[in-house]
Amino acid sequence: MSRIRNLDLRLIALPLVRPFRTSFGEDTTKDAILLRLETDVAEGWGECVAGPEPGYSEEFNEEAWITLRDHIAPRILDSDISSEELADALAGVRGHPMAKATVEMALLDAELRAAGRSLAEHLGAERDRVACGVSVGITSTVEELLRQVEGYVSEGYQRIKLKIEPGTDVERVRAVREANPDMLLSVDANAAYAPEDVDVFRALDELELLMIEQPLFYEDLLQHAKLQREIRTPLCLDESIRSAADAAAAIELGACRIVNIKQGRVGGLLEAKRVHDVGLSAGVPVWCGGMLETGIGRAANLALAGLPGFTLPGDTSASRRYFREDLTDPFVLDEDGTMAVPAGPGLGVVPHADRVERATVRLERLGKN
């Protein structure tokens, strides 16, 4: 057992190659908290998936920073708590899954680095390459959307996901479908619709979509179950699934037929694996979502996506889809639309110190020295 000596909290801002617009907002930079954790024997890195605004979920950077500094750090600093024991050690902090997941990622990275084992191996990954899709933001025109989609298709992405919102939906999706008749195509509403919008979903139901992601309010499993009974296209839940228990409930209720797994949303990689296990034993396909992560969080996502139940292409896109220069060596899409699962110890990546420095907006060191 090794002692957790200190934690560096860092807020970074990294320019995106193009603005990313969803039904809840637009980002032009990736603003994220990075955590560097140091034990007696190793260092580990974690990336928090919260953004600057509480638009996707309740958590946001300023709040996650305070949670990490004032409520999480005091419970683990100078202790020899392991990643397995972390959830219990943090049980006194309700909620805040994204903040908790950040520490778990860094602790796993440090432990596995010390042990010389990869995260993928530790989680039970069975693949060394994973199928990748791409999430396309809401554009100002349909022409621009078609142009972006064409670019991603030519790069080899195996599935295209279009962000939609009320008023920017059926017509756009139909245009993309007509230009790409055989493409695996899905849509993501980020909870922007109401049960009364059922006609939109009936129209989308004609477009041979792989899935419709999070159409309705994030706390409403019942309405998702009712909508799923009205259409053939599988519903996929993202925001609504915050734990393995949520996944089991949603599946049993018939609220979804596919689950998007994001380690940050469910409180960490270990719970993400349990969500995967629920899907696998119920015969429900899962896939790895994304939150525009830098190479640090991307490495963790790829390790997770190597598990056997991840049978659909993930939002695990290449570094160049997001950043001109990633914080790590770039993740590259192979021509066949797959990406390699990192095989080195821990996350298998280390951020470049100079790039991290340049992107840093704020730094706070916690613990001794």
- Would you say 198 or 218 has its CB closer to ligand OSB? 218
In the window 212-251, what residues touch Mg ion (CB under 5 A)? Answer: 213, 238
- The verdict on 271 binding Mg ion (CB under 5 A) reads no
Asked if 75 and 99 touch (Cβ cutoff 8 Å), the reply is no
| Least gap, CB of 260 to Mg ion (angstroms) | 6
| Least gap, CB of 304 to ligand OSB (angstroms) | 13
> Which among ligand OSB, Mg ion, none contacts residue 246 (Cβ within 5 to 8 A by kind)?
none
| Least gap, CB of 27 to ligand OSB (angstroms) | 8
Locus of tokens 């609220």:
255
Compute the distance between CA of residue 330 and CA of residue 311 in angstroms, rounded to an integer: 24
Which one of the spans 1-9, 187-195, 229-237, 358-366 is the region binding Mg ion (CB under 5 A)?
Answer: 187-195
- Residue 161 is a catalytic residue: no
- Would you say 170 or 291 has its CB closer to ligand OSB? 291
> Which among Mg ion, ligand OSB, none contacts residue 291 (Cβ within 5 to 8 A by kind)?
ligand OSB
Name the residue whose CB lies closest to Mg ion. 238
| Least gap, CB of 297 to ligand OSB (angstroms) | 9
Compute the distance between CA of residue 99 and CA of residue 77 in angstroms, rounded to an integer: 15
Asked if 172 and 142 touch (Cβ cutoff 8 Å), the reply is yes
| Least gap, CB of 48 to ligand OSB (angstroms) | 13
Name the residue whose CB lies closest to ligand OSB. 290
- The verdict on 109 binding Mg ion (CB under 5 A) reads no
Asked if 317 and 365 touch (Cβ cutoff 8 Å), the reply is no
Compute the distance between CA of residue 216 and CA of residue 193 in angstroms, rounded to an integer: 5
Render 120-174 in DSSP notation, one character per residue: HHHHT---SEEEB-EEE---SSHHHHHHHHHHHHHHT-SEEEEE-BTTBSHHHHH
Catalytic residue among 100, 262, 273, 368: 262
- Residue 163 is a catalytic residue: yes
- Would you say 109 or 238 has its CB closer to Mg ion? 238
| Least gap, CB of 243 to ligand OSB (angstroms) | 18
E strand intervals along the chain? 4-22, 25-39, 43-47, 129-131, 134-136, 159-163, 184-188, 211-213, 235-237, 258-261, 286-288, 338-340, 360-367
Binding site for ligand OSB (CB under 6 A): 56, 135, 188, 190, 238, 289-292, 315, 317
- The verdict on 293 binding Mg ion (CB under 5 A) reads no
- Would you say 233 or 316 has its CB closer to ligand OSB? 316
Contacts (Cβ under 8 Å, ≥6 apart) of 215: 189, 191, 192, 193, 197, 201, 224, 227, 235
> Which among Mg ion, ligand OSB, none contacts residue 46 (Cβ within 5 to 8 A by kind)?
none
Asked if 108 and 134 touch (Cβ cutoff 8 Å), the reply is no
- Would you say 20 or 45 has its CB closer to ligand OSB? 20
* Kind plus residue range of the DSSP H or E element containing 109: helix 97-115
- Would you say 107 or 339 has its CB closer to ligand OSB? 339
Tell which one of 31, 188, 246, 293 touches Mg ion (CB under 5 A).
Answer: 188
Asked if 4 and 40 touch (Cβ cutoff 8 Å), the reply is no
Closest CA to 168 of 147, 137, 134, 195: 137
Show which residues are catalytic: 163, 262
Residues that bind Mg ion (CB under 5 A): 188, 213, 238
